């Protein structure tokens, strides 16, 4: 699991030790938020990133089918860390991504946002913006909360407002750019799209789980399995190490400031280099009648 | 294209004939709405259906990870025809789909809807509903328009309302079931998810385009290429026939009433049998760095 799960692991382990039960507790990381401390990246992140980047590229091409103006605001999960929203930069790296990317690591400035959007839209008649659900203004107020304020302005807009962050921004852009705008939330899809998982991620995740069980059997406790990145012959290699649960529990790892461009509207090549090896390869679920076949686990009682 | 494009084809052809220009006009169908008259199905539909059905299955499994109550309303494209929303029935056929499916072919009754939802939710604590964006009540009013009415009830809900059809229904269910609800719009994703196209669809679409060009070169005009379904050795076969544009233009083909269950809340086996062969096979785009590589057409001037 994520931060909360590691905290729970840690508490259970401490409780067991205090009450004199021998119990080995190992944390197995898993979060599309990618914000766990002590690991290069988290199982699940790369698959979600691959899905978000691919879908963003597809939306980009959809937007260019017609010669009409097109404004799209994409909302990606991430309350405090912008890792998953950052993955839309992979689409931009391929020439088919958002014009602007806003992460919760950077204070959101509505005036600058509108200026940036106008500049791009006036040039091409097209605009794609990607935002983390958790972006906040300088007072720490979520942009999604602007919705209820805007609701009181109902008349000037013609209809009531409601956040979603993307919906709030799409409504503001509609007024500012005087054109139709569209908010797209990746919603649950971004965390469950098993049909487009990264083969690298799936393999690493499997190994991480295996290591955790091995370690517990061998007598280790109070640790989380973590990924450590290295290179061999210029190629990405993932190593498996252990991190003390005390260090991991309840610490959030944000996207480094130096991986975000100066204006706070995109990612640098450092992020691209970080993410590309992780999304490599396609893990295809078994198909049946043109649809994925999901494994059904049979519950078997353990022998005593 | 769809209905409008076929109408345009027809008008251009008639105009050319009237003004004495020899010009052959062939319609090539293409619409995820699947509502063109004179053809068994439309290029594009099966790929969108495959994506919607697969994503619905994934959402179903996501919803069952936790033991908490879960209410999800999925919104699928389709203003007047429910073909694409019907594809969520393929997920249900696989045991991982919506409990209730509402198409625009059937008058939407809010009271019955709430009763149906309560019954299912009280039994399992889980509820997935799929709706077409275009569902209407007995007065022909779009359910998405209920949003602005509900906005005036702002206080009792605690926040302002806004449609999306799914959002309107999710807000109503939140109040009725007294639990968190979630609206998911497949939005643009459902019409551009090339990464999960049906191989059958892609092959048929290619052939349809080829036939249209061949026919035009051979002197045919004023027709649309259409699909005709037949069987050989118990297996689905697609034949290519021509339909007069006059017949196709501006006629919408709805989902037959007898393919929708009596209560108007799901599809019958007839629809499943219709759709399954169409979504067969996976058309995989070429990948590069773990992301799809889109073809770039080079513009070359024709020799005179």
Strand order in the sheet with B223-232: B26-27, B223-232, B235-244
Collapse the DSSP code of A157 into the 3-class scheme (helix H, G, I; strand E, B; otherwise coil) and give the result.
helix
Say if residue A162's pLDDT is above 90.
Answer: no
Mean pLDDT over B150-176 rounds to 68
**With an 8 Å Cβ cutoff, are B147 and A161 in contact?**
no
Say if residue A149's pLDDT is above 70.
Answer: no
CATH topology of domain A47-192: Rossmann fold (3.40.50)
Using alpha carbons, list the distances in angstroms from residue B125 to A2, B66, B182.
25, 11, 14
Residues of chain B with CATH 3.40.50.460: 48-192
For residues A188 and B184, the answer to whether their CB atoms sit within 8 Å is yes
* pLDDT (0 to 100) of residue A242: 97
Residues of chain A with CATH 3.40.50.450: 3-45+194-255
Residues of chain A with CATH 3.40.50.460: 47-192
Convert the pLDDT of each residue in A199-212 to its tens digit.
999 999 999 999 99
To the nearest whole number, what is the mean pLDDT of chain A?
92
Mean pLDDT over B53-73 rounds to 94
For residues B69 and B78, the answer to whether their CB atoms sit within 8 Å is no
**With an 8 Å Cβ cutoff, are A160 and B167 in contact?**
no
B48-192 belongs to CATH 3.40.50.460: yes
* pLDDT (0 to 100) of residue A194: 95
* pLDDT (0 to 100) of residue B150: 54
Mean pLDDT over B129-142 rounds to 96
Crossing angle for the helix pair B45-63 and B199-217, to the nearest 10 degrees: 170
- For A:148-167, CB contacts with B below 8 A are 148, 151, 154, 159-162, 167
CA atoms within 13 Å, Cβ hemisphere of A155: 0
Say if residue A285's pLDDT is above 90.
Answer: no
For residues A13 and A4, the answer to whether their CB atoms sit within 8 Å is no
Say if residue A118's pLDDT is above 60.
Answer: yes
* pLDDT (0 to 100) of residue B303: 83
CA–CA gap between residue B259 and residue B86 (Å, rounded) = 10
Q: Give B80's contacts (C-beta < 8 A, 6+ positions apart).
A: B35, B104, B134, B252, B254
Residues of chain B with CATH 3.40.50.450: 3-45+194-254+274-292
Mean pLDDT over A102-108 rounds to 98
Between A268-272, A280-284, B49-53, the lowest mean confidence (pLDDT) is in A280-284
* pLDDT (0 to 100) of residue B149: 60
Instruction: Clarify whether A33 is annotated catalytic.
Output: yes
Task: Name the percent of chain B lying above pLDDT 90.
Answer: 81
To the nearest whole number, what is the mean pLDDT of chain B?
92
* pLDDT (0 to 100) of residue A304: 76
Q: pLDDT band at A169, cuts 50/70/90? A: very high
Convert the pLDDT of each residue in A226-253 to its tens digit.
999 999 999 999 999 999 999 988 789 9
* pLDDT (0 to 100) of residue B157: 39
Say if residue A35's pLDDT is above 80.
Answer: yes
Task: State whether residue A55 sits within 8 Å of chain B by CB.
Answer: yes
Task: Name the percent of chain A lying above pLDDT 90.
Answer: 81
Say if residue A256's pLDDT is above 90.
Answer: yes
Collapse the DSSP code of B166 into the 3-class scheme (helix H, G, I; strand E, B; otherwise coil) and give the result.
helix
**Least CB–CB distance from A290: residue in B151, B189, B280:** B280
Between A105-109, A183-187, B159-163, the lowest mean confidence (pLDDT) is in B159-163
Q: In CATH, what class is A3-45+194-255? A: alpha beta
Mean pLDDT over B38-53 rounds to 98
Query: Two tokens at A287?
Result: 């198909």
* ipTM here: 0.93
The matching CATH number, chosen from 3.40.50.450, 3.40.50.140, 3.30.70.330, 3.30.450.90, for B3-45+194-254+274-292 is 3.40.50.450
Collapse the DSSP code of B184 into the 3-class scheme (helix H, G, I; strand E, B; otherwise coil) and give the result.
strand
Say if residue B100's pLDDT is above 90.
Answer: yes
Higher pLDDT, A149 or A222: A222
Mean pLDDT over B166-195 rounds to 95
Higher pLDDT, B82 or A147: B82
Q: Which of B4, B33, B149, B270 is catalytic?
A: B33
- Chain A residue with CA closest to B171: the answer is A162
Q: How many CB atoms lie under 10 A from the CB of residue A270? A: 12
Q: Is the dihedral of CA B161, B166, B170, B176 positive or negative?
A: positive
Say if residue A100's pLDDT is above 70.
Answer: yes
H or E stretch at A92: helix A88-93
**With an 8 Å Cβ cutoff, are A282 and B279 in contact?**
no
* pLDDT (0 to 100) of residue B162: 44
Mean pLDDT over A155-163 rounds to 42
* pLDDT (0 to 100) of residue A250: 77
Q: pLDDT band at A150, cuts 50/70/90? A: low
- For A:168-197, CB contacts with B below 8 A are 182, 184-185, 187-189, 191-196
Q: Give A176's contacts (C-beta < 8 A, 6+ positions apart).
A: A114, A117, A118
- Chain A residue with CA closest to B284: the answer is A282
CA–CA gap between residue B34 and residue B12 (Å, rounded) = 23
């Amino acid at each position: 699991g994520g931060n909360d799960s590691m905290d729970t692991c840690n508490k259970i382990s401490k409780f067991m030790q205090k009450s004199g039960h021998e119990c080995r507790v190992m944390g197995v990381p898993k979060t599309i938020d990618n914000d766990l401390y002590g690991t290069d990246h988290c199982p699940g992140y790369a698959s979600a990133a691959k899905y978000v980047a691919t879908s963003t590229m597809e939306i980009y091409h959809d937007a260019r089918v017609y010669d009409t103006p097109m404004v799209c605001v994409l909302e990606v999960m991430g309350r405090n860390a912008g890792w998953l929203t950052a993955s839309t930069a992979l689409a931009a790296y391929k020439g088919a991504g958002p014009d602007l990317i806003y992460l919760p690591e950077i204070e959101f400035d509505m005036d600058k946002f509108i200026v940036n959007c106008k500049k791009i839209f006036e040039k091409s008649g097209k605009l794609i913006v990607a935002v983390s659900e958790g972006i906040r203004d300088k007072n720490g107020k979520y942009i999604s909360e602007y919705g209820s304020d805007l609701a009181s302005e109902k008349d000037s807009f013609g209809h009531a407002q409601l956040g979603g962050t993307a919906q709030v921004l799409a409504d503001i852009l509609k007024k500012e750019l005087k054109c139709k705008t569209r908010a797209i939330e990746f919603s649950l899809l971004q965390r469950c799209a098993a049909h487009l998982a990264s083969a690298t991620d799936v393999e690493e995740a499997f190994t991480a789980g295996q290591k955790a069980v091995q370690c517990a059997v061998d007598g280790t406790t109070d640790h989380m399995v973590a990924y450590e990145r290295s290179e061999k012959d210029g190629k990405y290699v993932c190593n498996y190490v252990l991190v003390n649960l005390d260090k991991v529990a309840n610490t959030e790892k944000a996207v480094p400031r130096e991986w975000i461009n100066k204006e706070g509207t995109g990612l640098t090549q450092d992020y691209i280099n970080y993410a590309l090896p992780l999304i490599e390869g396609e893990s295809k679920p078994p198909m049946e009648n043109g649809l994925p076949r999901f494994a059904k686990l049979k519950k078997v009682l353990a022998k005593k």
